Structure 1
Amino acid sequence: MNDQKNFVNHIRPSFVPTGVLTVLYTFCLGGLSFLAFVILGITGLLMMFHYQPGDSSGFSSILTIASVIPYGGVIRNLHYWAGQLMVVTVNLHMLRVVWTRSYKPPKQLNWLVGVALLILILFLDFTGYLLIGSQESGAAATVAVNILGLIPGIGTGLAQVLFGEPSALSGSTLVVYVWHCVALPMIALLLQLYHFWRIRRDGGVRPL
């Protein structure tokens, strides 16, 4: 760790105050991920007014949003790229936590919350992909259901809870829509608020 700190101090520009760099190191990735989450919420809410979940209407709704609704293409692209930004920043944030060993006591509970958030965000991203309703997303849903079905005992039931009935694998079912637009965002928001509260209580990521 001493060699690591010496290296960072060596490459740190002399014209930037140390306090500013510490703030950037500590809050940049987490702040960017939360900003992406806010953009996802706003653009997702705007698209919900025009999206129709269903085996045949999902894909046509996406086409309508992108080509007919004013600024619909911009909103959809913002939603897509905000999702990608959130996945990237959260992964980089987790790597930085591991690098600085900020998962150790008393921050181990917040680390577990962060891991749960990462899994939740990946599932949120996947369900959004399924809502496109294309042949590719339908095939992805089929693969996911088949993989979950391999889990002994609970696999089939878990697949039905997450993706609906096995016959509805187009990716634009009402079950996936509810997960992506209601349940997962609410859970993610609650976990993030708890994550922020734990940071205020136990401290954030250690400076590099």
Structure 2
Amino acid sequence: MNDSKNFVNHIRPRFVPEGALRVLYTFCLGGVSFLAFIVLGVTGLLLMFHYQPGDNAFSSILTISSVIPYGGVIRNLHYWAGQLMVVTVNLHMLRVVWTHSYKPPKQLNWLVGVGLLIFVLFLDFTGYLLIGSQESGAAATVAVNILGLIRLIGSGLAQILFGEPSVLSGSTLVVYVWHCVALPMVAFLLQLYHFWRVRRDGGVRPL
């Protein structure tokens, strides 16, 4: 077999056992999570045209919801897709634990999945901060204070992750960049690797 065919088989294994893809076994939770991620990406991109991070965050969201044509629909789709992804990713992790699908040789993909869960939770939290309301400001203040308790690196870490949110608004340019660029990009690449490892390891069957 030539090198090109070896490469194709390496990237896309020739077959996956049929039982590994049963709906009643996987519940399609990984696929639903990825679909929610795609919806989040598309609706988030549309929201970026009118959203303003910082002190004008809350007013810009009101403008999107009440002035921009279909803005309320797009924002609601974005919000509910985010909540759906949080739920389905957590259920997906529970399914993996229930079926022992984290055992060798799948332990690396399990760790990737744990990392994706953390990214999803942080994406959801930063999205909440970007609302720019007094409640999100309070949440950002609590997060900054908790990180500040970590000796030596806490204050610097809080600055890197949240910038300097006010108690009246959790929206900052730092949070905006994390939520709209850095976290989605890393999460997308990890998901591609995660899917590839599932096929590479022969599906989702427990050993």
| TM-score (norm. length: structure 2) | 0.86
The separation in 1 between residues aligned to 2:23 and 2:166, in whole angstroms, is 51
- Aligned identity (percent) is 88
How big is the shift at 1:175? Answer: 0.4
Structure 2 unpaired stretches of 5+: 1-17
Match of 1:14 in 2: none
Map 1:65-76 to 2 at 5 A. Answer: 65-76=64-75
Tell me the number of residue pairs that the alignment of Structure 1 and Structure 2 aligns.
Answer: 189
Deviations 1:2-23 (A, max 9, x none): xxxxxxxxxxxxxxxx969824
Deviation at 1:69, TM superposition (A): 0.5
Change (3 A) 1:205 1:163: same
How far off its partner does 1:165 sit? 2.9
Task: Give, in whole Å, the separation in 1 of the partners of 2:106 and 2:25.
Answer: 18
SS in 1 for 2:79: helix
SS at match of 2:22: helix
4+ long deviations beyond 6 Å = none
CA deviations on 1:28-77 (whole Å, 9 max, x unpaired) are: 0000000000000000000000001122x100110000000011111000
CA distance in 2, matches of 1:43, 1:58: 17
For the aligned residues, what is the CA RMSD? 1.9
- How do 1:7-156 residues align onto structure 2 when only pairs under 5 Å count? 22-26=22-26, 28-55=28-55, 57-156=56-155
Work out whether residues 130 and 137 of structure 1, in 8 Å CA contact, stay in contact via their aligned partners in 2: yes
Letter in 2 for 1:123: F
Q: Secondary structure at the match of 1:140?
A: helix
Q: TM-score, normalised by structure 1?
A: 0.86
Q: Which one-letter code corresponds to 2:94 in the other structure?
A: L
Provide the C-alpha distance between the structure 2 equivalents of 1:113 and 1:82, rounded to a whole number of angstroms: 22
Which stretch of structure 1 is more off in the superposition, 19-28 or 112-121?
19-28
Contact 2:140 2:165 in 1 (8 A): no
Residue segments in structure 1 that go unaligned for 5+ positions in a row: 1-17
